[in-house]
Amino acid sequence: MKLGIVGSGYVGTTVAACFADLGHEVMNVDVDESIVRRLNEGDAPISEPGLGDLLSQYAGSSLFATTDYGDLVDFGPDVIFLALPTPSNDDGSIDTAVVEAGAESLGGVLGDIEDYPTVVVKSTVVPGTTEDVIGPTLELESGGRIGVDFGLATNPEFLREGSAVDDFTSPDKVVFGADDDRALDALESVYAPLLEKSDVSVVRTGLREAEMIKYANNAFLAAKVSLVNDIGNICKEYGVDAYEVAEAIGLDDRIGEQFLRSGVGFGGSCFPKDVNAIVAAAREEGYDPALLQAAIDVNDRQPQRMLDLLDSHVDVSGERVAVLGLAFKPGTDDVRNSRAIPIIEGLQERGASVVAYDPNEGAAAAIRERFPDVEVLASPSPTLSGAVATLVVTDWPAFADLDLEFDLMSGDVVIDGRRIVERRDGITYEGLTW
């Protein structure tokens, strides 16, 4: 099939490469010339395992990128995905301006695309956005009608950063949302090569249900992390090991063993944004989701608890303090909503001189840019050297091997926010929830 993808961020680029790998011909449209150039050269504009290999394999043969929506007309896609960002407004709600602008530009050429193209919203949008905002924009700009001239569907993604290509290839489920069978069938044809290979659950549902499934999925997982953090905080009060408790409760199938790692909380571009967005949207509709608000509050407090624990051991004013881990999770260069950010801010408020390290150079560079006063170094030893305390914020596996490096510190306090560092003689080790 021929597929158009509007937007070449984490999602658009990953699905473009993965769709090409399923045997489709793909055209990406993005307003950013440098991203388009890199895609056409087969060079991944983001850091994601396996993505570079796929792009170099398919760029120029079955994967093309362009800045011109008009190129879609000659290309003639059967299905066009909108994979544009929906960033947060100050009140937590989503800003749909970029998706709307993309829908406007796409609408401008949609009427000239032959046959019956199906437009699929992949961006994360609150229930009703596809039907009430994107659909009418496409109709207005194209002069055509949904269900008569083109199809409209949603297809939320459940890809994790750092394993997005694997998640695409081996999903737990795929979700297709539309209010008519023709649009659902078009989506099913796109995924057919994947569905034939493995036993994937296919959810065919309505537009609003599919939009809500995405939020419910992320809200549930984020709330699970906050619940395990709340329980972990209780454990800490009792001197109980929250990880032993989590392992035991995870044996109950109804609870499940995943997402039970307590610590400094969740970050990234999805959980914080999506939980805030669905809470804001629900309030707009007249319902106040108390539990999800609590999930946000608990998450916001975990970095503060880490700093309180530090305060209980040492006054860091005028002292050098090391932060290990800057990416929001291991295996990525992404620092968006990383717990390292409130930790660094809290240390600076206390008058500490902050020195930091992350194994990923992209994450290190992003923090250097955001915090010019923070010394971001290239390896753990010089980072720990002379530090009165160390705060571990990301569970990069390499941190488990740190040992003699701690002897370089001027003090001995190590606060572990992720249960990754080995307890050892010579350091005062504090786990956040154990």
Residues serving a catalytic function are: 270
Q: What would the x/- binding string for ligand UGA be over residues 125 to 164, using CB under 6 A?
A: --------------------------------xxxxx---
Does residue 69 belong to the site contacting ligand UGA (CB under 6 A)?
no
- The answer to the question of residue 329 lying near ligand UGA (CB under 6 A) is yes
396 touching ligand UGA, by CB under 6 A: no
Residues in the interface with ligand UGA (CB under 6 A) total: 20
Min CB(63)–ligand UGA separation in Å: 22
How far CA 277 is from CA of 93, 127, 215, 265, 318, in Å, comes to 4, 11, 9, 18, 39
Which residue number, 137 or 229, has a Cβ lying nearer to ligand UGA? 229
Encode 292-318: b = buried (16+ Cβ within 10 Å), e = exposed. Answer: beebbebbebbbebbbebbeebbebee
Please name the residue ranges forming H helices in 8-59. 10-21, 33-40, 51-58
When binding is defined by CB under 6 A, the residue of 225, 326, 340, 409 that contacts ligand UGA is: 225
In angstroms, give the least distance from the CB of 302 to ligand UGA: 9
| DSSP states along 142-192 | HS--BTTTBEEEE----PPTTSHHHHHHS-SEEEEE-SSHHHHHHHHHHHH
Between strands 389-392 and 2-6, the pairing is: unpaired
Q: Least distance (Å) from ligand UGA to the CB of residue 259?
A: 4
Least Å from the CB of residue 202 to ligand UGA: 17
Taking CB under 6 A as the binding criterion, the range among 18-26, 65-73, 112-120, 218-226 that sits at the site for ligand UGA is: 218-226
Closest listed residue to residue 103, CA positions, set 181, 171, 4: 4
Closest CB to ligand UGA among residues 105, 154: 154
Shortest Cβ distance from residue 267 to ligand UGA (Å)? 4
| Apex 206 CA angle, 202 and 212, nearest 5 | 85
If one asks whether residue 266 binds ligand UGA (CB under 6 A), the answer comes out as yes
Nearer to ligand UGA, 230 or 319 (CB): 230
218 binds ligand UGA (CB under 6 A): yes
The two structure tokens encoding residue 310: 């530090």
What is the rounded distance in angstroms from the CA atom of residue 79 to the CA atom of residue 69?
14
268 binds ligand UGA (CB under 6 A): yes
Closest CB 391 distance from ligand UGA, rounded Å: 15
Nearer Cβ to ligand UGA (44/159): 159
Bridge partners, residue 357, by sequence: 324, 377
Q: What is the smallest separation between the CB atom of 409 and ligand UGA, expressed in angstroms?
A: 25
Distance CA 264, CA 276 (A): 18
- x/- contact string, 286-325, with ligand UGA (CB under 6 A)? ----------------------------------------
What's the token pair of residue 318?
């005028």
Element of type H or E holding 357: strand 353-357
Query: Which residue, 45 or 268, is less far from ligand UGA as judged by CB?
Result: 268
Amino acid of residue 47: S
Token reading at 137: 């924009």
Cβ-Cβ contacts under 8 Å for 220 (sequence gap 6 or more): none
Q: According to the binding rule CB under 6 A, does residue 263 interact with ligand UGA?
A: yes
- Give 371's contacts (C-beta < 8 A, 6+ positions apart): 344, 348, 354
The verdict on 342 binding ligand UGA (CB under 6 A) reads: no
> Rounded CA gap, 17 and 164, in Å?
11
Q: Which is closer to ligand UGA, CB of 243 or CB of 406?
A: 243
Q: Which of 19, 176, 328, 371 is the binder for ligand UGA (CB under 6 A)?
A: 328
Quote the CA–CA distance of 62 and 23 in Å, as a whole number.
8
Give me 406's structure tokens. 């701690």
Binding residues for ligand UGA, rule: CB under 6 A, are 157-161, 218, 221, 225, 259-261, 263, 265-268, 270-271, 328-329
